[in-house]
Chains A and B, each alone.
Chain A
C-alpha cells in the first residue's frame, strides 16, 4: 500500500463548478501538507501549504486537513479554464526527516 493515495482522474468539470480534490494517507506522523499545481510541460508550483489540522483559504482555493481520517482536500471555487492542470498533494513528517511523500496527481480539466 502506498503511503499517499490520490485518484489520478481525469476530472472534467464545467466552468464555475466547485472542485474537490483529495488525498488519503496512511502515516499518522505526517504533519505538513502541501498542494502543488502542475501545468502541462511545466514543473509543479506550490499552491497551498498547511501545518497539522484545519483549513486554510487563499482566494478561490481552500485546503483542508482531517488528521483523524488521514485525509486532505483541496477545494477550488468558481473554477476557471486556467485551473486546468494536474494537482499533486505532498506531505512530510515533523522533525529532521525532510523527505516529501508525493501523491501521483489528479488531472483536472475545466471546460468553458
Chain B
C-alpha cells in the first residue's frame, strides 16, 4: 500500500521559532509537493520538487523554504514562524511524466503558531 508519511499530526510552536515539517514517501516517486489548506482558501501550493536537490516555488513560497536531499524525503522549513502560518500542511507525491497530477497525500500536520 502506498504511503506518504508526515512526521507530526499536530504541532504547536511559538512566533519566531524555526519549524521543520518532514515528509517521507515509500513509492519511489519523482515529484513531491507541499501544500497548505485553509478554510475559504482551499489548497495552495507552497513548493514542489521534481527531482533530488531540485525545488520550484509554488503560489505562496514567502516565509518558507524546502530541502530535498534524498528522493524519498521532502522537508518544509518555516524560518521564523508567524501566526499567519497557522494552517494544515499537506505533503504529496506523484510519479513523474504525464501522470504527475495523480497525487498521493499524507494525513497532514496541523500547525498552530502562538
Contacts and interface: CB of A to CB of B under 8 A. Distances in A.
A46 B43 contact: no
Interface stretch (B12-20, B73-81, B101-109): B101-109
Contact of B101 (A41, A44, A100): A100
B92 interface: yes
A109 to B, nearest CB: 17
B8 interface: no
Nearest to A94: B98
A46 B101 CA distance: 10
Interface residues of B, number: 17
A44 B42 contact: no
Interface string B85-114: 000001010000000111111111000000
| Interface core residue of B100, B101, B105, B106 (most chain A CB under 10 Å) | B101
A44 B105 contact: yes
Interface in A53-104: 88, 90, 92, 98-100, 102-104
A30 to B, nearest CB: 11
B42 A43 contact: no
A41 B108 contact: yes
A46 B100 contact: no
Given A103-B42, A104-B40, A104-B42, A46 B102 contact: yes
B106 A43 contact: yes
17 contacts: A36-B103, A42-B108, A43-B92, A43-B105, A43-B106, A44-B43, A44-B90, A44-B103, A45-B104, A45-B105, A46-B102, A46-B104, A49-B102, A98-B101, A99-B45, A102-B42, A104-B41
Interface of A: 32, 34, 36, 41-46, 49, 88, 90, 92, 98-100, 102-105
Which 9 residue pairs spanning A and B have beta carbons closest together?
A43-B105, A104-B42, A102-B43, A43-B90, A44-B105, A43-B106, A102-B42, A43-B107, A43-B108
